Amino acid sequence: MADVYHEHFATVELAVGRVLSGADKETVIHEVFFKLIASEEQRRRFQGGSFGAWIATVARNQAIDHARRRDRERPTSTEILSERADAGHGDGAAGARVLIERFREGLPDNWRRVFDLCFLGQVPQREAAATLGMARTTLAYQHLQIRARLRKFLVPGTGRTGAP
């Protein structure tokens, strides 16, 4: 197994490095080799052919899974909004209401209903679109634009417009 590690470390590092960097990259590299060492089932998944190509695919898939888990763990816009309100005002609930209202005032009138339903009410897009009588794609576009504005509002200087 030591030879496998030494021969294929660079391959795994390259595959994972295309998706992750830093500590996440190192973690996934070690997880790939740990699973290979610890799990007979994982070793049996290799059915022949190029071991390097197989381990690169395993590593890339594991890196993608890790990135998805990490991204799901990031705080939502409403959590950031609430934290910012708590830090800037003595009463967290009152501060959050003020901050939310300030943000809402900067939205176009027709986007406020989308913000209220999707962001504050946590209503799924399909249901919100049906409630508002609009196409889901129109609502999805507005949702995306609102998220970009919310990001700029909460983290000034991000300057990324149109990005989720």
| Judgement on whether residues 94 and 131 belong to the same structural domain of the protein | yes
> Does the pTM of the predicted model rise above 0.95?
no
| Judgement on whether residues 81 and 147 belong to the same structural domain of the protein | yes
- Number of domains the chain is built from: 2
Q: What are 46's two structure tokens? A: 């290799």
**Average pLDDT along the chain:** 83
The answer as to whether 159 is a domain residue is no
Structural domain range at position 53:
2-73
The pLDDT tens digits of the residues spanning 21-77 come to 888 899 999 999 999 989 889 889 999 899 999 999 999 999 999 988 877 765 555
